[in-house]
């Protein structure tokens, strides 16, 4: 009887352990890194050029950004809880700072799902669907968490980053600091 009990327990343990393997989760969620809201600012003399911000948008249009204005780039995905939480703030700030360009970059996401999310929240700025653009930030302030928000100066150079969810105060401060230059 003890042998049958041991086999039963071991079988149940094996089933329990394999059911916790995360087989149903996506690679995107497994590699999700949450930022803590840290704000980084780079003095103008030490800045590096931002990558080209162009490509296909969620709405299916080709987009090409021309620098000359302060630009806010937000890296997001609809499955990311902090990304969902910050969207109303980003929308409000994009309206408040109308002289600043706002652009989204979708990462690790199914475009139709993200497009439905963008429509539901009426995101007023374009979102590029090619996250290979993020490689271009490698030499400056990489988008190392989801969400990440990068502020680019008028000359097209990376001026700052918020790693993790933005707040009204953190992003407003960065925008105003870079705009005052």
Give the pLDDT confidence score for residue 7 in this predicted structure: 43
Give the pLDDT confidence score for residue 110 in this predicted structure: 87
* Maximum pairwise Cα distance, the chain: 80
Give the pLDDT band of residue 2 (cuts 50, 70, 90): low
Give the pLDDT confidence score for residue 4 in this predicted structure: 53
For the chain, helix (H) and strand (E) counts, in that order, are: 5, 8
Q: How many Å apart are CA 33 and CA 146, to the nearest integer?
A: 6
Q: Where are the beta strands (DSSP E) in the chain?
A: 38-41, 54-56, 62-64, 71-76, 101-106, 127-128, 148-152, 158-163
Give the pLDDT band of residue 21 (cuts 50, 70, 90): very low
Model pLDDT for residues 27-79, shown as the tens digit of each residue? 333 344 455 667 889 899 999 999 999 999 998 999 999 999 999 999 999 99
User: Number of C-alpha atoms within 13 angstroms, CB side, residue 27?
Assistant: 4
More confident residue, 154 or 35: 154
Query: Quick one: which of 162, 123, 120 has its CA closest to 143?
Result: 162
CA distances from 28 to 79, 80, 142 (A): 9, 10, 17
Give the pLDDT confidence score for residue 38 in this predicted structure: 78
- For the chain, how far is it from start to end, CA to CA, in angstroms? 80
Tell how strand 54-56 and strand 62-64 pair up: antiparallel
Please report, rounded to a whole number, the percentage of residues in the chain having pLDDT higher than 90. 60
Model pLDDT for residues 126-149, shown as the tens digit of each residue? 999 988 898 888 877 666 678 999
Model pLDDT for residues 71-125, shown as the tens digit of each residue? 999 999 999 999 999 999 999 999 999 999 999 999 988 889 999 999 999 999 9
pTM above 0.95, yes or no: no
Q: Which residue ranges form the domains of the chain, and what is each CATH number? A: 25-179 (3.40.30.10)
């Amino acid at each position: 009887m003890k042998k049958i009990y041991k086999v039963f327990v071991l079988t149940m343990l094996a089933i329990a352990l394999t059911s916790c393997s995360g087989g149903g989760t996506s690679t995107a969620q497994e590699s999700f890194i949450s930022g803590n809201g840290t704000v980084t600012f780079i003095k103008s003399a030490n800045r590096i050029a931002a990558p080209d911000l162009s490509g296909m948008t969620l709405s299916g249009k080709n987009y090409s950004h021309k620098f000359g204005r302060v630009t806010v780039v937000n890296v997001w995905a609809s499955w990311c809880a902090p990304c969902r939480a910050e969207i109303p703030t980003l929308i409000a700030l994009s309206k408040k700072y109308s002289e600043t360009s706002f652009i989204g970059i979708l990462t690790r996401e199914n475009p139709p799902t993200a497009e439905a999310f963008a429509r539901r929240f009426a995101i007023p700025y374009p979102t590029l669907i090619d996250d290979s653009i993020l490689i271009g930030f490698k030499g400056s302030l990489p988008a190392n968490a989801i969400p990440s928000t990068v502020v680019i100066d008028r000359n097209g150079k990376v001026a700052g980053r918020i790693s993790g969810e933005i707040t009204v105060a953190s992003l407003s401060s960065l925008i105003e600091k870079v705009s005052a230059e």
